[in-house]
Chain A
Amino acid sequence: MLARLAIAETIAYNCVSMAVDWFPLWLSLRVAACATVPAVLAGVGLGYVLVVRRFRGREVLDDAVTLPLLLPPSVLAYYLLVLLARDSALGRLYERIAGVPLLFTWQAAVLAALLYSVPLMTRSAQSAFAGIEPACLKSARTLGAREWRVFARLALPLAARPLAAASILVFARCLGEFGITLMIAGNLPGQTQTLPLAVYEAVGKGQGQTALLLALAVSALALLCLVAAGRVSRVRFGLLK
């Protein structure tokens, strides 16, 4: 007990006395927030389409959405480097619109986070929509409701809880993105260095105290998200019993 108290005291002392650069934490939060919004929108849309619509190429789309989860980060990052290089069509297009190249900016870190979060959100959304009683959606369609109304008035509210929980977990996953970010956004302190990259650098430089503090920050955030997702999935919304 005394030993544990001593460790906690040391950590607290170090937090106060050490000059830790907390920029990676704020950047990670910004990247995660910016990636979660489009990931949730795309994942919910794709998940709904894959569950309720039958069309040619549905299986191909399903597999394509899942593929990034199976590919190594280095392979995905390589594809992105090729696709978004300054001399590529996409790279030139982005540079013409934004005025700056995409690679090795914090926006590239957002893209890196999206690569894993979209499939993750799509999978979760598929499970959430598949859990809705099909009879509700079927009868709604025969009552003259257009598909967007079935989606907005029925599917979305009925799947709200699992979707909200999945969004929080996707946010947490974005916070922890490492491999692709390193390769396409770089590890530039004060510019593209996210929290996991800062831990990696601190360990590499032998800054044990800094690495410990940053690792604890990442862990605390992940734990917070996990608890929040659990609470959200159990909470009774006003519109759901």
Chain B
Amino acid sequence: MIAARLRKRLAATVSSPPFLLEAELEIAPGVTGLYGPAGAGKTLLLELLAGLEKPDEGRILVDDDLVFDAAAKVDRPARVRGCAYLPAANSLFPHMTLRENLAFGAAGLPRLEKHRRVEQTLERFDLGRLAGRRPTDISQWDRLRCSLARMLLSAPRAVLMDAPAAGLSGSERRAFESLLREVRREYSAAYVLTTRDLRDCSGMCDQVAVISEGRILQTGPPLSVMQSPANLAVARLLGMHNLLEAEIVSLDPQRNSSRLRLGELELAGPYFRGKLRGDRVWLCIAPHELRLVPRSGRPGPNKAPAEIRRVTEAADVAHIELEGDLHVEMPRRDYEERKHNREWWVEFPSHTLRVM
């Protein structure tokens, strides 16, 4: 487990503006994903935890072991922190074979034990046939497996990976997900990875920390963060569609209901705890929760006329963009059945309305 409170200021350079990282986070055993855009401070945060950069203020505890405390002037070097770091660039040593790379990670062990562990790890990570080859002669997927194996041979307390899945193909990404699931069962450590891809968060992580401009905006299980972003900034970072500004017209806690005004449309919604009548709020509705139905008769509650602007069809879903920047997702089979229809209603089911 890692508990950290950090502050680091980077001066402006020719190629980058000044940057301030102020983060407080707890990383539990399991896999934690640092999700954020480029320049959010993900890599800097990992390097501060690993001991490769020195924070200006704050403290870092790794398994209740104080490895950094600015006030107490404690700053243990990277080699003794037990935080193995996998940079985004290829970090395997190009002049060594894969076997020699692994042996470097196991350097602290007695000779025979080192040999045994290296051979065992080569087999475990399916690298036996590549053991005599150099990193430049193997694929990115093989390099990633070897890097992970080398880190684990050093028996780390935390495994910090900077964008490990970037550049992997779909099948390699799935294989990495499965490898990570196996590895975390076999090697007890806190695993942290950075990513700009939501698929990595949902597929690999138990916890997600959304980071932007040097600050952690929200932490929680991936599904919870994706379904209930804490604020508009998180929702936008998660690439959510259908972020709509509305005004609360009425609230009725007894009936667990509310009414919201969205432009000229009035919507019925659930009761929003902590909100007051007249508050302006942001509604967040997932595209698959909106319903698109053929127009017939008078509009019912929470329905508005809709006009299709663009349709993108994937293997199993159709992504439909409506006038007014609304996005709807429906099963492709349903869309195929109704696609000749010309006039549509878009329906905002009451229970799907969430405010931020």
Residues of A participating in the B interface, judged by any CB pair closer than 8 Å:
133-136, 138-146, 149, 153-154, 157-158, 239-241
Quick check: B104 and A153 within 8 Å, CB to CB?
yes
Chain A residues, Cβ within 8 Å of B87? 134-135, 138-139
Known contacts A133-B89, A135-B89, A139-B85; A145/B107 CB under 8 A: yes
Known contacts A145-B104, A145-B107, A153-B104; A136/B79 CB under 8 A: no
9-residue interface stretch from B47-55, B172-180, B323-331:
B47-55
Given contacts A144-B79, A158-B94, 18 further A-B contacts (CB under 8 A): A133-B89, A136-B92, A138-B50, A139-B85, A139-B147, A139-B151, A141-B78, A142-B50, A142-B81, A142-B84, A142-B160, A143-B84, A143-B105, A143-B150, A143-B154, A145-B104, A146-B79, A153-B104
In the complex, per-residue mask of B63-82: 1 if CB is within 8 Å of any chain A CB, else 0: 00000000000000111110
Q: 27 pairs across A/B with beta carbons < 8 Å? A: A133-B90, A134-B89, A135-B87, A135-B88, A135-B89, A138-B50, A138-B52, A138-B87, A139-B147, A139-B151, A141-B51, A141-B77, A142-B50, A142-B81, A142-B83, A142-B154, A143-B84, A143-B105, A144-B79, A144-B80, A144-B108, A145-B79, A145-B104, A153-B93, A157-B95, A158-B93, A240-B94
For chain B, the count of residues having a C-beta within 8 Å of the partner chain is 34
The 10 A-B pairs at the shortest CB distance, nearest first, are namely: A135-B87, A139-B91, A135-B91, A135-B89, A142-B85, A141-B78, A143-B154, A144-B79, A239-B95, A142-B78
How far apart are the CA atoms of A142 and B189 in the complex, in Å? 15
Chain A residues, Cβ within 8 Å of B89? 133-135
Chain B residues, Cβ within 8 Å of A140? 93, 104
Chain B residues, Cβ within 8 Å of A240? 94-95
How far apart are the CA atoms of A133 and B81 in the complex, in Å? 22
A149 to chain B, nearest CB (A): 8
B193 to chain A, nearest CB (A): 15
Q: Which of B51, B93, B151 contacts A136 (CB 8 A)?
A: B93
Quick check: A144 and B50 within 8 Å, CB to CB?
no
How far apart are the CA atoms of A146 and B104 in the complex, in Å? 12
Q: Does B136 contact A (CB under 8 A)?
A: yes
Known contacts A143-B150, A144-B154, A241-B95; A138/B47 CB under 8 A: yes
Q: Which residue of B lies closest to A137 (CB)?
A: B91
Chain B residues, Cβ within 8 Å of A136? 91-94
Known contacts A133-B89, A133-B90; A141/B79 CB under 8 A: yes
How far apart are the CA atoms of A162 and B95 in the complex, in Å? 15
Known contacts A143-B151, A145-B104, A241-B136; A138/B91 CB under 8 A: yes
How far apart are the CA atoms of A241 and B93 in the complex, in Å? 12
B104 to chain A, nearest CB (A): 7
Quick check: A135 and B95 within 8 Å, CB to CB?
no
